[in-house]
């Protein structure tokens, strides 16, 4: 499916535009399925000892070995993790040795009943795994794999050589954090099964994942937890945070089997170039396109800009109705109107709307970034799949258009996710919103504006806060500006907004050193402007 910013493919927060739609189905694999795996490739679970464990075991047979439960599935060996409070959830875990072999890694699936399976990949911190925080990263879309963030932006390795290998990323966020990259919702990346088309349901799945992950790896359970992501994660993350918040409220009550849930030490939420409050953010589209730092039209009073501005009142009226009625019958038309009327004209400029400093020939590369194609090449290598505990027959796509469309036709992206944050912020969960100033899709103007109207005990202070220059600690680089409320200048703040100069939608890709500086200061709760 050739991509164009059209009725079905231009949705708020799409990180990249899917080039094709491949049906994702579960295939059973026999011994011959690994024929494409080279003979000199021997991941840990296929060495002699693991082959001995697997020998004679039937597919999906479960057994105990050295006090742990295992399962054989698709000729691969997984450790199986369950929790009595989650009857329909289990975790399948393997131990890959890819990307950064200097740290511990775990990957596998969260299985939800028999029909949903979420893929994850975890890396320990390069610094101090026992004390560094635990950080979740989600990409946007909806339907774009977290592996794009891992391999393209902030993970321990970067895709290289047209997808033939990876290189060490010295600016990885794993320098100072234990990081989980999660492909959610279902049918994103290596995840598969019956689709989920709303962010509240996706949030509940992520909460269950944390409970099982920390059951298996309790050494991370006492660490501060930060949840982060970009683009449509601006909608996901408030729902994930609310699920965690509500789960913590329930944790004192024993489950029906007497098992207690773990308290998740939610410290902060970090959203980069996200879509969170579309009523405010949609109205900023003409402002950015016509009067932003990289204007798409030369005359701010010309026909193109006048036409764009004329669409805003109807867009906002429809979104306001969606906010009040919460019905897909109202929200879907609102989303489609705002997208087509405000973004349709911008698509005709030939610019990369995720970084308007660049052009994008979508006939040649519908994803606008050739690295996205490289990621697909590497992730579809049978050796990589086996190492990650993925069925070698499963097809990886950086983005899944079907997931995008499914969320759109529930009207999910037209809801106000910002309203979920007020109670959390007042309860001590810190909030960082950052945005590259060259991104048109989720521009920095709209992100700053919705944060200004976010109801919280810090709203008045943030409203009068001035933007202060942000200079990186190591490179003495003027990287952007910071507005903060809370902390009295002694911390990173309770509500903070960072404008990142010379960066598009994927800030860690465009400004890796500055992004790491911001991330490190934020998770250590030290001022961003000192």
Residue 439 appears among annotated catalytic residues: yes
Token readout for 265 is 């030490």
* Bridge partner residues of 90 (DSSP): 82, 111
Pick from 278, 199, 293, 180: which is nearest to 240 by CA?
Answer: 199
Pick from 432, 428, 419: which is nearest to 484 by CA?
Answer: 432
Pick from 12, 18, 16: which is nearest to 339 by CA?
Answer: 12
CA distance 192 to 90: 15
Q: What are φ and ψ of residue 402, in 5° steps?
A: -65, -40
Query: Of the residues 231, 417, 456, 484, which is catalytic?
Result: 231
Which residues contact residue 387 at a Cβ distance below 8 angstroms, ignoring those fewer than 6 apart? 41, 43, 94, 96, 97, 98
Q: Are 297 and 440 in contact (CB under 8 A)?
A: no
CA distance 359 to 351: 4
Strands 266-272 and 225-230 turn out to be: parallel
Q: Are 374 and 166 in contact (CB under 8 A)?
A: no
Query: Of the residues 439, 456, 484, 496, which is catalytic?
Result: 439
Q: Are 331 and 322 in contact (CB under 8 A)?
A: yes
Pick from 112, 189, 181: which is nearest to 143 by CA?
Answer: 189
Residue 384 vs residues 138, 298, 318, 392, 404: alpha-carbon distances, Å: 21, 47, 46, 9, 26
Is residue 16 helix, strand or coil? coil
DSSP state of 340: I
Chain CA centroid to CA 89, Å: 21
Residue 179 vs residues 103, 169, 228: alpha-carbon distances, Å: 11, 14, 10
Residue 171 appears among annotated catalytic residues: no
CA distance 123 to 101: 10
Which residues contact residue 93 at a Cβ distance below 8 angstroms, ignoring those fewer than 6 apart? 78, 79, 80, 81, 106, 107, 108, 216, 389
Residue 277 appears among annotated catalytic residues: no
Pick from 353, 349, 200, 338: which is nearest to 278 by CA?
Answer: 338
Pick from 422, 427, 430: which is nearest to 485 by CA?
Answer: 430
Around Cβ 348, how many Cβ atoms within 10 Å? Answer: 10
Token readout for 293 is 């730092």
Query: Of the residues 83, 89, 226, 505, which is catalytic?
Result: 505
Return the H-helix or E-strand segment holding 215: helix 199-216
Task: Give the residue numbers marked as catalytic.
Answer: 231, 439, 505
């Amino acid at each position: 499916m050739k991509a164009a910013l059209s009725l079905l493919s231009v949705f708020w927060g799409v990180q990249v535009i899917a080039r094709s739609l491949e049906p994702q189905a579960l295939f059973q694999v026999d011994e011959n399925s690994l024929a494409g795996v080279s003979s000199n490739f021997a991941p840990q679970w296929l060495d002699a000892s693991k082959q001995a464990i697997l020998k004679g075991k039937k597919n999906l047979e479960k057994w105990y070995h050295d006090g742990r439960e295992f399962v054989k599935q698709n000729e691969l060996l997984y450790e199986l993790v369950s929790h009595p409070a989650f009857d329909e959830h289990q975790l399948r875990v393997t131990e890959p040795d890819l990307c950064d072999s200097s740290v511990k890694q775990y990957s596998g699936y969260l299985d939800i009943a028999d029909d949903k399976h979420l893929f994850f990949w975890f890396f320990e911190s390069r610094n101090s795994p026992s004390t560094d925080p635990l950080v979740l990263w989600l990409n946007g879309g909806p339907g774009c794999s977290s592996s794009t963030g891992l391999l393209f932006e902030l993970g321990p390795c970067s895709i290289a050589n047209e997808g033939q290998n990876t290189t060490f990323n010295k600016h990885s966020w794993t320098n100072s954090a234990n990081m989980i990259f999660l492909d959610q919702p279902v049918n994103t990346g290596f995840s598969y099964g019956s689709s989920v088309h709303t962010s509240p349901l996706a949030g509940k799945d992520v909460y269950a994942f944390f409970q099982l992950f920390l059951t298996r790896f309790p050494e991370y359970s006492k660490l501060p937890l930060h949840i982060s992501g970009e683009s449509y994660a601006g909608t996901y993350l408030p729902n994930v945070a609310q699920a965690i918040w509500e789960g913590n409220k329930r944790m004192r009550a024993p489950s029906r089997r007497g098992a207690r849930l773990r308290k998740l030490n939610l410290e902060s939420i970090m959203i980069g170039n996200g879509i969170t409050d579309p009523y405010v953010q949609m109205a900023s589209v003409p402002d950015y396109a016509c009067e932003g730092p990289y204007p798409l039209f030369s005359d701010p009073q010309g026909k193109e800009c006048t036409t764009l501005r004329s669409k805003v009142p109807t867009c906002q009226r429809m979104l306001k109705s969606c906010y009040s009625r919460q019905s897909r019958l109202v929200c879907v038309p609102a989303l489609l109107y705002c997208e087509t009327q405000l973004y349709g004209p911008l698509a005709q400029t030939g610019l990369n709307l995720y970084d308007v400093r660049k052009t994008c020939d979508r006939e040649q590369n519908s994803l606008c970034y050739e690295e996205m194609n490289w990621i697909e090449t590497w992730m579809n290598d049978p050796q990589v799949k086996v190492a990650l505990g993925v069925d070698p027959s499963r097809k990886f796509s950086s983005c899944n258009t079907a997931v995008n469309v499914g969320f759109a036709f529930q009207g999910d992206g037209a809801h106000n996710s910002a309203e979920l944050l007020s109670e959390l912020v007042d309860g001590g969960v810190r909030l960082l919103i950052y945005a590259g100033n060259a991104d048109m899709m989720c521009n920095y103007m709209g992100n700053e504006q919705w944060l200004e109207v976010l109801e919280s005990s810090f709203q008045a202070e943030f409203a009068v806060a001035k933007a202060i220059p942000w200079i990186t600690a190591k490179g003495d680089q003027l990287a952007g500006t910071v507005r903060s409320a809370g902390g009295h200048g002694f911390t990173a703040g309770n509500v903070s907004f960072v404008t990142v100069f010379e960066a598009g939608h994927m800030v860690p890709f465009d400004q890796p050193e500055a992004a790491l500086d911001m991330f490190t200061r934020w998770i250590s709760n030290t001022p961003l402007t000192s």
